[in-house]
Amino acid sequence: MTSVTTTADTAIPADWRDFLALTKPRVMSLVVFTGLCGLLAAPVPIHPVIGFTAILCIALGAGAAGALNMWYEADLDALMKRTQGRPLPAGRMDRQSALHFGVGLSFFSVLLMGVAANWLAAGVLAVSILFYVLVYTVWLKRRTPQNIVIGGAAGAFPPVIGWAAAAGDVTLLPLLLFTLIFLWTPPHFWALSLFVRSDYAAAGVPMLPVVSGAKVTRQQILFYTLPMAAAAVAPWPLGLTGPIYGVAAAALSLLFFAFACHVFANRSSEPAEMKPEKRLFAFSIVYLFAVFGALVLDRWFA
Amino acid sequence: MIPEGQKNEIRAARQKSRALVTALALGAFVILMFAITIAKMAANT
C-alpha cells in the first residue's frame, strides 16, 4: 500500500481533464486497436452497435485499470520525472477521487460488456483489470525484475476480449495473439527502461536494467524476440491465417530482430547514446499496430 | 497560495465543466443503451 499523502486542495474539485488523464489515453490506443483487430478477426460477424460497445468497454476497462494503477502508484510517480506531472503526484486531485473513479469505471465497463456482448467477454475483461491492478501493480512491480514479464499478460487480453465479444468463445488464434503481446511486452518495456533507468532507480522500482544492468537487459531483449517472432508467425503455418498475415508478420519480426541485434551490440550506458534502444522502443509500437493490421487485412481478403 | 476570490471562480468553473461532461456522458449512455436494445431485438427476430 502506498503511503503518499495527497497535496491536492480538496476545496477545489479536480478538472474533468484530470480524470481523463487518469485513464492513460495514449496507452489505451494500442489496447483499443488490438481489441478491435481481435473482434474483426473473429469468424463471426457482429452487429456494429454491439461491436462498438465491446470496443468502448475494452477502452473503459483499460482506462479503469490505468486509473487504479495511478491511484496505487502515486508515491512512485512523484519520484519519476516521466510521471511527476500526472494528476495525483502534481496535487491536482485527491487519491480518494481517483480510487472511486477507477473502481466505478471497472464495474461499469464489465457490466456493460456483459449486457451488450456476452458474459465470457465480460469475464475476460474483469480478469484483465484484476490482473493489471492486483498481480502487476500491487504484487509484482515493486518486488521483482520479472514484473514486466508476468505483468505483460495484462496488456495481452484485449484481442482475446474482442474475439470473445464477437464469437462467444476463445480458440487457438486469439490465444496465439495473446502469446504474441505477452512476449512482445518485455522487449518493448525493457528498451524503454534502459534509457529511463535512472528514473526507475530513483523510485526504487526493480526493473531489469536497475537490478541486473544494461548488458543482461540487452541479452534478455534479444532472447525474448525469438519466441515473440515465432508466436507472431505461428498462425500462418498452423493454417489459421493466410499469406498476407504470414509474410507481413515474418518481415516485421525480422526487422524487430535486426533492431534487437543493434540493441544487443550497443555497449553504452548513457541515455544520450541509446539510439538503438529508442529506435527499438518506437519500432515495437509500430510492429504491433502493423502485425494486427495485417491480420485484419488477411481476414478481409481471405 | 491562491486568493479566496480566485479559488471560488476556479471551483465554479470546474463544477460547471464537470457537470457538463457528466450530462454529455449520461446522454451518450442513454442513446447507447437504446441502440443496444434495438440491435438485440433485431438479432432475435
Q: How far apart are CA A88 and CA A104, in angstroms?
A: 18
- pLDDT for A9 beyond 60: no
Quick one: angle between helices A25-41 and A172-195, nearest 10? 160
- pLDDT for A3 beyond 60: no
Provide the whole-model pTM. Answer: 0.91
CB contact under 8 A, B39 and A50: yes
CB contact under 8 A, B36 and A16: no
A12 touches chain B (CB under 8 A): yes
CB contact under 8 A, A47 and B18: no
Q: How far apart are CA B44 and CA B32, in angstroms?
A: 18
Residue A158 CA neighbour count, 13 Å, CB half: 28
CB contact under 8 A, A16 and B11: no
Superfamily in which the A17-168 domain is placed by CATH: UbiA prenyltransferase (1.10.357.140)
Q: Buried (b) or exposed (e) across A249-270, using 16+ Cβ within 10 A?
A: beebbeebeebbbebbebeeee
What residues in A contact B43, CB-CB < 8 Å? 47
Shortest CA gap A129–chain B (Å): 22
Q: Percent of chain B scored above 70 by pLDDT?
A: 98
Shortest CA gap B41–chain A (Å): 11
The helix (H) or strand (E) run that includes residue A294 is helix A275-301
Predicted confidence at residue A8, as pLDDT, reads 54
What residues in B contact A16, CB-CB < 8 Å? 14, 17-18, 21
| Contact between A38 and A163 (Cβ < 8 Å) | yes
What residues in A contact B42, CB-CB < 8 Å? 47
Give me A41's grid cell: 478477426
What residues in B contact A53, CB-CB < 8 Å? 32, 36
Q: pLDDT tens, A45-96? A: 999 999 999 999 999 999 999 999 999 999 999 998 888 999 999 999 999 9
Predicted confidence at residue B21, as pLDDT, reads 96
Shortest CA gap A17–chain B (Å): 9
Compute how many other C-beta atoms are within 10 angstroms of the C-beta atom of residue B8: 13
Q: pLDDT tens, A225-270? A: 999 999 999 999 999 999 999 999 999 999 999 999 999 999 988 8
Residue of B nearest to A56 (CA): B32
- pLDDT for A163 beyond 90: yes
Residue of B nearest to A19 (CA): B18
Which of B2, B14, B35 lies at the smallest CB-CB distance from A49? B35
Q: Is A45 left (phi over 0), alpha (psi -120 to 50) or beta?
A: beta
Q: pLDDT tens, A124-151? A: 999 999 999 999 999 998 888 888 888 8
Predicted confidence at residue A10, as pLDDT, reads 53
Q: pLDDT tens, A183-235? A: 999 999 999 999 888 888 888 888 899 999 999 999 999 999 999 999 999 99
**Burial of A231 (C-beta count, 10 Å sphere; 0-12/13-18/19+):** buried
| B33: phi then psi, degrees, rounded to nearest 5 | -65, -40
Write the DSSP assignment of A190-213 as a string of letters.
HHHHHHTHHHHHHHT---HHHHH-
